[in-house]
């Protein structure tokens, strides 16, 4: 299927050593045209797989570099094709020269993700494993690494493949019944099918539900910072992020757009979402921002509600109607900011007010000064406690990929129809249709029925050389 032999630089710029990967039917012959092994009696194309050969890359008579070359023979390589790897000195000039020589001798530049795409097309891995390769390269913490590693090693595709196999057996029995419809026979034991459907429903529900945790680990626990204009949201965000990201000014409504950034605190990645201040306004652009604030609030797991302590009462009363109903199921932290300029008696009355009106599960309050960084460490601890993520291991199966989540959600809907259908003794042809749909969505995750556009999109997001 892949007649082209492709090449790409696989290493980042600036290292002492650089590596070029060649893959395809001509990989070994093209490499041997530009590479002469050190000991002249050895031939590169007789090199044993998984060994290194020392030698030189020549452009005509000129030596480009002294290199080490490795060799893999189809199907035993990353792509499943014949492959070579040329390891030279890390000069971008040398790497470019070697690339040009390879191209002059019949290679073509690889597209982003093309090696992994070939690995997928040659059956070395399924699509969810290929997607995990990209996650693995992007992983920046122990948790994201563990998730990507578990998925790359076959994580949930194995479990899904087993279930899909059982479903296929069943649906072929149901479909066989259809061929004998005159005789009113039942090859597929409905009770056993119902048991299988329940089992599958449980597995898929678990995977669908794991996405919240998976998403929080991969993209950060979403924390929305909301409150009235000028309460100090941007100032606090800058403190939390330890850098000057959001624009701070004393003109009301400075933050019109939603700013997002992630930061690691206590081993947990948080994704802070600064939002436009909420107030009644006729400014069109600002109103759009406020609309978006509410959308972001819905996505958040933790809500930091910043209240200007010097002007708290009116804000609380005005906003509690808008905000509180939207915080159900979320952890709400009411942050009284600018606390350094209010009196102790004011604090006490605010605390009493809070305790009388907000005391419920998953609600905290704190007095801080964002400007003077007073009690902001305590706020960080509060956040870490609010974000109780489970400890995950490489054996935990957690969905992190939106594409998988969507396919699983559709599979879950279809399996519910199968369960309902069995309960009301639906006819075989409808039943098999619903089962086929479950199979279809499960197969989508492994990439067996995935359409070309989606495939292209997935691999285009890889880096070159992978």
Ligand X SMILES: Nc1nc2c(ncn2[C@@H]2O[C@H](COP(=O)(O)OP(=O)(O)OP(=O)(O)O)[C@@H](O)[C@H]2O)c(=O)[nH]1
How many Å separate Cα 204 from the centre of its chain?
Answer: 18
DSSP SS3 for 261: strand
Query: Which of these segments, 151-159, 248-256, 351-359, 433-441, binds ligand X (CB under 6 A)?
Result: 248-256
Closer to ligand FFO by CB, 72 or 156: give it. 72
Partner from ligand X, ligand FFO, none binding residue 230, C-beta < 5-8 Å depending on class: ligand X
* CA–CA separation, 161 and 167 (whole Å): 10
Q: Residue 72 touches which of ligand FFO, ligand X, none (CB < 5 to 8 A by kind)?
A: ligand FFO
Pick from ligand FFO, ligand X, none: which does 235 bind, CB < 5 to 8 A by kind? ligand X
- 3-class secondary-structure state, position 8: strand
- List all residues 6 or more positions away from 203 whose beta carbon is below 8 Å from its beta carbon: 159, 160, 163
**Which of ligand X, ligand FFO, none binds 124 (CB below 5-8 Å, type-dependent)?**
ligand FFO
Count of alpha carbons within 13 angstroms of residue 275, beta-carbon side: 30
Distance between CA atoms of residues 149 and 190, nearest Å: 38
Does position 72 bind ligand FFO by CB under 6 A?
Answer: yes
Binding residue (CB under 6 A) for ligand X from 21, 233, 296, 466: 233
Q: Is residue 91 marked as binding?
A: no
Examine residue 78 and tell whether it contacts ligand FFO (CB under 6 A). yes
DSSP 57: E
Torsion angle in degrees (nearest 10) through CA of 8, 10, 12, 15: -110
What count of other Cβ atoms lies within 10 Å of the Cβ of residue 420?
Answer: 12
Peptide bond into 218 cis (omega under 30): no
Binding residue per annotation — 146? Answer: no
Please identify which residue in 249, 352, 394, 456 interacts with ligand X, judged by CB under 6 A.
249
| DSSP summary character for residue 78 | S
77 binds, among ligand X, ligand FFO, none (CB under 5 to 8 A by kind): ligand FFO
> Which range in 176-184, 209-217, 228-236, 375-383 contacts ligand X by CB under 6 A?
228-236
Q: Give yes or no for residue 441 binding ligand X (CB under 6 A).
A: no
Instruction: Give me 380's structure tokens.
Output: 């960080």
371 binds ligand X (CB under 6 A): yes
Chosen from ligand X, ligand FFO, none, partner binding at 232 (C-beta under 5 to 8 Å by type): ligand X
Q: Which is nearer to ligand X, 193 or 306 (CB)?
A: 306
Which residues 106-145 are close enough to bind ligand FFO by CB under 6 A?
A: 124
Instruction: Tell me, residue by residue from 324 to 363, as one string, x for binding to ligand X by CB under 6 A and - for no binding.
Output: -------------xx-xx----------------------
220 is in an annotated binding site: no
For residues 336-362, one letter each, b for 16 or more C-beta atoms within 10 angstroms of the residue's C-beta and e for the rest, the string is: bbbbeebeeebeeebeeebeeebeeee
Report the first-to-last Cα separation within the chain, whole angstroms.
19
Report the SS3 class of residue 156.
Answer: helix
What are the structure tokens assigned to 455, written together? 């495939």
* 393 assigned to a ligand binding site: no
**Integer Rg of the chain from CA:** 29
Q: Exactly one of 27, 127, 147, 231 binds ligand X (CB under 6 A); which one?
A: 231
231 binds, among ligand X, ligand FFO, none (CB under 5 to 8 A by kind): ligand X
User: Among residues 235, 293, 315, 401, which is the contact residue for ligand X, using CB under 6 A?
Assistant: 235
For 184, the 3-state DSSP assignment is coil
185 phi and psi, to 5 degrees? -100, 160
User: Which of 108-116, 150-158, 195-203, 233-241 is the region at the interface with ligand X (rule: CB under 6 A)?
Assistant: 233-241
Q: Is 235 annotated as a binding residue?
A: yes
* Residue 277 counted as an annotated binding residue: yes
**CB count in 10 Å sphere of residue 26:** 18
Helices (H), 62-121: 92-104, 114-121
Indicate the annotated binding residues: 21, 85, 124, 230-235, 249-255, 274-277, 466
Give residues in contact with ligand FFO (CB under 6 A): 72, 75-78, 85, 124
Give residues in contact with ligand X (CB under 6 A): 227, 229-235, 248-250, 252-255, 277, 337-338, 340-341, 369-371
Indicate the annotated binding residues for GTP: 230-235, 249-255, 274-277
Indicate the annotated binding residues for K(+): 230, 249, 251, 254
């Amino acid at each position: 299927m892949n007649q082209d032999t492709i090449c790409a630089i696989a290493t980042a710029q600036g290292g002492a050593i650089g590596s070029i990967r060649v893959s395809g039917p001509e990989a070994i012959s093209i490499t041997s045209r530009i590479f002469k092994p050190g000991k002249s009696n050895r031939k590169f194309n007789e090199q044993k797989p998984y060994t290194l050969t020392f030698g030189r890359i020549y452009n005509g008579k000129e030596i480009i570099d002294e290199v080490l070359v490795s060799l893999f023979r189809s199907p035993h390589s990353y792509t499943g094709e014949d492959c070579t790897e040329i390891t030279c000195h890390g000069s971008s000039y040398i790497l470019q020269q070697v690339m040009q020589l390879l191209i002059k001798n019949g290679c073509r530049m690889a597209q982003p993700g093309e090696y992994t795409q070939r690995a997928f097309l040659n059956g070395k891995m399924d699509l969810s494993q290929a997607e995990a390769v990209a996650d693995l390269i992007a992983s920046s913490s122990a948790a994201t690494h563990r998730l990507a590693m578990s998925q790359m090693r076959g994580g949930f595709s194995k479990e899904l493949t087993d279930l899909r196999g059982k479903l296929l057996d069943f649906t072929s029995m149901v479909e066989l019944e259809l061929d004998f419809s005159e005789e009113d026979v039942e090859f597929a034991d409905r009770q056993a099918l119902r048991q299988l459907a329940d089992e599958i429903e449980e597995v898929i529900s678990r995977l669908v539900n794991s996405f919240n945790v998976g998403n929080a680990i991969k993209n950060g626990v979403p924390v929305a910072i909301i409150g009235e204009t000028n309460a100090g949201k941007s100032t606090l965000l800058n403190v939390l992020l330890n850098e000057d990201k959001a624009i701070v000014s004393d003109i009301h409504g400075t933050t019109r757009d939603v700013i997002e950034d992630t930061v690691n605190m206590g081993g947990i990645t948080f994704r802070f979402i600064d939002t436009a201040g909420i107030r009644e306004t006729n400014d069109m652009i600002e109103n759009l921002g406020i609309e978006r604030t509410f959308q972001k609030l819905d996505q958040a797991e933790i809500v930091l509600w910043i209240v200007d302590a010097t002007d708290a009462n009116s804000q609380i009363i005005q906003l509690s109607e808008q905000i509180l109903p939207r915080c159900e199921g979320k952890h709400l932290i009411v942050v009284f900011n600018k606390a350094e300029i209010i009196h102790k008696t004011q604090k006490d009355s605010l605390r009493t007010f809070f305790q009388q009106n907000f005391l419920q599960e998953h609600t905290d309050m704190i007095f801080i000064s964002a400007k003077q960084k007073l009690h902001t460490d305590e706020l960080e601890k509060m956040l870490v406690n609010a974000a109780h993520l489970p400890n995950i291991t490489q054996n935990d199966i957690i969905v992190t990929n939106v594409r998988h989540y969507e396919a699983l959600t559709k599979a879950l809907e279809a399996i519910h129809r199968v369960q309902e259908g069995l309960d009301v003794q639906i006819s075989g042809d409808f039943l098999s249709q619903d089962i086929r749909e479950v199979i279809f969505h499960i197969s989508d995750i492994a990439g067996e029925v995935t359409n070309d556009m989606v495939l292209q999109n997935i691999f285009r997001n890889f880096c070159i050389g992978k």
